[in-house]
Structure 1
């Protein structure tokens, strides 16, 4: 899907007489198509970040120095770019590369702002026309999105989301992965170059400024000791991280059950190793298991799912041959009997097994028998229990 708009060839269709209920992947926002395939009561959410911070992340992640052919002459290459962004940005082309090389209003482009319109809002443009275009775009986002979250205030955003959706604190717990630390030769970008970026990505800065203000107005009116809930959420999220980090196959007695009692912000809950497995599951594995669920709902099999996906038959056939030499059922055997998409490199057998068990394709007896034999520490409970109350 990404970096393009949503297209029917990019996703499995919904089951007969049903609608989609969740979008879990990157794509460019297109109002008409989303409203065509999602229910009328869909809640629309997005998250944005400070534009210069976003550029730095994009610069490193997509290796834009290399794409823009900027030599490393001792000065931070991003400074060379910011001195004249229009000179370099066009070198990637704005066809199939959008927005990989698109540094101008990249967040707005993800939210549906047409790349071609950048010519009318960039440096040297008619400022009155730029204001009209920008205000019109911001109004669309205001009308369409129920919540615009802020990357810099992620925990606060999640608490707002929890309240909007009437969720529990357990629903917004997160385990941070896929993070990077970048070393830049320049700790501070000069103010002149920052101003260049403001002119270059004018709509992104307007987007961020507007929704930064509305975000804090929403926080101020949240009530029910919002900041107390944020502090409590951070506390239990850190406890969850410690619990999940403590699970080691070689150290079974590091396993404990973390119990949280009822608080003024919601009912209590218990965290265990199964929760940690879900929390630490990779995005690729999560998406694969969701595709398994959708494929089964559509009645697809390994043969006809190839319309939508390339099944990893090489890895699958190798696993099938290995099964013939075994006399005892293993987790991978259950996977081979039940998988449709079968991209075995993207998910561990325990992830698959747990998924099929919770979806009702594997009996409790089979599930526990295999897990006890192959992953004894997964279900073993130590006597140590930690209780956190509020």
Structure 2
């Protein structure tokens, strides 16, 4: 079969231009290469190797979630070759689109990283990959900043290397490469810095850890974050977060350059412009994809294309949408609503924080502009795929939250995906967060170890 296919392609190349497009239909992935006689000789079998089975084939039957139509799965093994001069990205050499399974997710606090983390847990489970887990159940961290020892993580089945690192840890490339396969790549997600700070204030009630902030906020009729932004330098001296073991409040006790801190920049370098520039350049080299929360769906489609994943791999459902809970400072005096935390900032407040947390703004602005440029270079079919993803996410959410749902809901084949179905088990998996995934994966690993005995 493989030799016949290679022969067919070789003959086809004689009649086509040197640019061809590979459509690997099994996952709705389009990979564009420039081929010549030399490159074809280098990659004759890799370029036409069938992609891995669909998501459903790698999930145990008792957790069945996504099912591909058998006919679609069978027909998707044939490779279609089309010429498209308008949407061709020229590469220096032929590189087959190979699913990327080894990666580190640098989890940045309050940047939508819990949503992405859940996607990656689901991906690892669905494809039977090894996800790093903390030795102690429900720990948010694995190890301490810049230090992961054997005492801090759960032994893996058969002593295998991790495929995925998905827990909290300060980004340290050298440390991760000692623990992960050599082809490991790095991804992360960022958020507009004031929006990130707003989320942290609201979610963790950070006003509690500033001396006298409650009284000042009540007297001025401001929300705590407005009080903070009116003079960050003043309030920094009055910030006293509780310090405890990693996984405690010290995860949250950050008010300045918090994204830079999670991504491994030393505070001693904050005032060195050359060091900051070099640091951002290194991040750009290290990370294959830097997602932006404000462009979440676009980021996920870009991630999907770069990782050679399927549309099913990036589906998510936020079952517990964050509710804007009241900021109870003094019930008898004032009640701060979460909505005020995001909108009622003066230009002076915004300028204060941009100055105070300037490195985070530089990081965010750099990667936001880069993402916009990358999206533009993908062509109009990229935006079509983004709209398609949004449509799928809406239908998945509608099905999963329904109290009267059919046993299965089918999604038809499109240019972006094969036909697949979802069910109640799938919805349950989508709703899991880190503690739930910790339990599921532990049970899965121990079952694997027991079977090996």
Task: Give the Cα–Cα distance (whole angstroms) in 1 for the partners of residues 199 and 166 of structure 2.
Answer: 21
> What TM-score results when the alignment is normalised by the length of structure 2?
0.59
Question: How big is the shift at 1:81?
Answer: 1.3
1:326-346 residue CA offsets vs partner (Å, 9 max, x unmatched)? xxxxxxxxxxxxxxxxxxxxx
- Aligned position for 1:150: 292
Q: Which of 351, 358, 377 matches 1:221?
A: 377
Aligned residues: 287
The whole-number CA distance in structure 1 between the counterparts of 2:160 and 2:299 is 31
How far apart in 2 are the matches of 1:36 and 1:194?
Answer: 41
- Please give the residue correspondences for 1:127-146 in structure 2 after superposition, counting only pairs within 5 Å: 129=272, 131-146=273-288
Alignment partner of 1:161 out of 286, 303, 306:
303
C-alpha deviation, 1:85, in angstroms? 1.5
2:198–2:341 CA contact under 8 A, matched in 1: no
More strand per residue = 2
- Could you tell me which residue of structure 2 aligns to residue 189 of structure 1? 345
Query: What is the distance in 1 between the residues matched to 2:203 and 2:178?
Result: 33
Deviation of the 1:116 alpha carbon: 4.3
SS in 2 for 1:170: helix
8 Å CA contact retained: 1:75, 1:185: no
Q: How much has 1:211 moved relative to structure 2?
A: 0.2
Q: Which residue of 1 aligns with 2:135?
A: none
Query: Quick check: which one's helix share is greater?
Result: 1
Q: Residues 109 and 2 of structure 1: is their aligned pair in 2 closer, same or farther, counting only changes over 3 Å? A: farther
Q: 1:245 aligns with which of 389, 394, 401?
A: 401
Cα offset for 1:176?
A: 0.8
Which residue of the other structure, out of 319, 327, 330, is the alignment partner of 1:177?
319
Residue 271 in structure 1 maps to residue 271 in structure 2 = no
**Structure 2: where are the runs of 5+ without partners?**
1-139, 325-337
Sort the Cα spacing of 1:239 and 1:196 in 2 relative to 1 into closer, same or farther, 3 A: same
C-alpha distance in structure 2 between counterparts of 1:270 and 1:296, whole Å? 27
| Root-mean-square deviation (Å) | 2.6
The 5-angstrom pairing of residues 1-390 of structure 1 reads 2=141, 4-5=144-145, 6-8=147-149, 9-69=151-211, 70-71=213-214, 72-73=218-219, 74-90=221-237, 91-92=239-240, 98-117=250-269, 120-121=270-271, 129=272, 131-178=273-320, 179-181=322-324, 182-184=338-340, 187-223=343-379, 225-246=381-402, 248=403, 251=404, 254-295=405-446
| TM-score, structure 1 normalization | 0.67
> Contact 2:226–2:341 (CA<8 Å) still a contact in 1?
no
| 8 Å CA contact retained: 2:202, 2:341 | no
**Equivalents in 2 of 1:49, 1:185: separation in Å?**
15
